[in-house]
Structure 1
């Protein structure tokens, strides 16, 4: 009997520890950064102008899919709001490391190189890359490979983006690449005749036909995922975010945002993408 009682006590104790650990993760109890946000009343983030993911409205309010996901997570952690500063892609990670802001919800793809310097949450989008070209696709471009083979093709990419790195990896000559600071500049480069294609994520340009371009998804490009990025030393806060994000997936909140509000049409792929290592196997 005593052995049975001892066994029950051990199991009960283990369950108690597990429940406390889960509760701590759900509230960010062990995350110093979350405590700082609660005291300050807000988290500070950096974004680039990348509608529909993240942008600043004319009234100065941060908006977009990634902003709404971040706000839902913060609400679950007991943090009232976030404030945003606008920066460029190549300045995001250096600014994060310099503690100019707390995390990055600006639309950053998970890549092996970035995994070395930041801690990514579970993916909050899944997609492939696409070329945005003039209607009719005059150069008949279908992806990175066709751009690399066509010496006359001029390709715009976001400076410091994963698309810039992948274009180089796919042997698109440096002389054919045009680096632009934001999505609007990339679209303008195509419609203005300075570039034949602008390569970015397939959902990064909402209603492209209204902007004078058409979308050509590179079906040979690897699946990529966007996640929120933290400093490596803030991994405890990242872990708390993961708990909240997975909860949003499970309760249907994220699907309502992803599919119903923002019109992303590949929920099944995102639903199967549950951790950063699903995109980059050695990402920690």
Structure 2
């Protein structure tokens, strides 16, 4: 897999950040099939492949930076990288801190996953685990269920398997792989639609960078290449 490199150029007097030849792409590397570390210890997944293609079409060189989810927005704002491609839903709350391109993946339903035999009413009054600082955590916090948050997706799955929580709420596409591989141990017990699609996050001052990638996402929607990637990594139900 071709190694990418990135950086941002700063305009005189530091007034704005200008589009440079090198862009740092921030990702979590822990949320398959969106993004994950493969057997070669490289970032892989839908967003890696899409990000590489966006950079190629923009004539940019890109370097991927792995960052924990809990600090992924603060470290973007701090300048440790220039974009976020990490399965991040576009929400009004996040728009108060960063800007987004248009969505590059339609709104994926969230789902509750539990041990087989778990009654569905646990979603209303049970113990629900989510990854921290996600739209799922915000949703559960507004219900009568008890919320437990963990910083990584793997910890949420372990909490269900270990009996620390009744169910986990996360993106359905992420959970389905665990269900398939569990041999019947884990099942999806309910679905809900949250958020407004998945987009690339950028600093609010980086309008040129956002507009560049936004235009290419629109181009890939128009020429069908984005749908091809979505089918490869997800399924036809999520295509545009």
TM range, smaller chain: 0.7 to 0.9
Q: Does 1:34 align with 2:19?
A: yes
Task: Summarize the alignment of residues 120-199 of structure 1 with structure 2, pairs less than 5 Å apart.
Answer: 120-125=100-105, 126-136=107-117, 138-141=118-121, 147-148=123-124, 150=125, 153-169=126-142, 171-173=143-145, 176-199=146-169
1:113 match: 93
For normalisation by structure 2, the TM-score amounts to 0.84
Q: Name the structure where strand makes up a greater proportion of residues.
A: 2
For normalisation by structure 1, the TM-score amounts to 0.72
> How far apart are the structure 2 equivalents of 1:49 and 1:95?
17
2:41 match: 60
Unaligned runs of 5+ in 1: 1-29, 272-284
SS of 2:200 mapped into structure 1: strand
Alignment: residue pair count: 222
> How far apart are the structure 1 equivalents of 2:222 and 2:160?
40
What is the CA-CA distance between 1:52 and the residue it aligns to? 0.8
Task: Summarize the alignment of residues 217-256 of structure 1 with structure 2, pairs less than 5 Å apart.
Answer: 217-219=190-192, 221-222=193-194, 224-256=196-228
1:205 match: 175
Q: CA RMSD in A?
A: 2.2
1:70 match: 51
> How far apart are the structure 1 equivalents of 2:235 and 2:200?
18
What is the CA-CA distance between 1:36 and the residue it aligns to? 4.5
Larger Rg: 1
Contact 1:48 1:182 in 2 (8 A): no
Contact 2:21 2:59 in 1 (8 A): no
Contact 1:49 1:86 in 2 (8 A): no
SS of 1:108 mapped into structure 2: coil
Deviations 1:135-158 (A, max 9, x none): 23x1224xxxx623x2xx111011
Contact 1:90 1:161 in 2 (8 A): no
What is the CA-CA distance between 1:115 and the residue it aligns to? 0.9
> How far apart are the structure 2 equivalents of 1:64 and 1:116?
28
Q: Name the structure where helix makes up a greater proportion of residues.
A: 1
> How far apart are the structure 2 equivalents of 1:236 and 1:217?
41
Q: 1:100 to 1:80 in 2, by over 3 A?
A: closer
> How far apart are the structure 1 equivalents of 2:52 and 2:197?
19
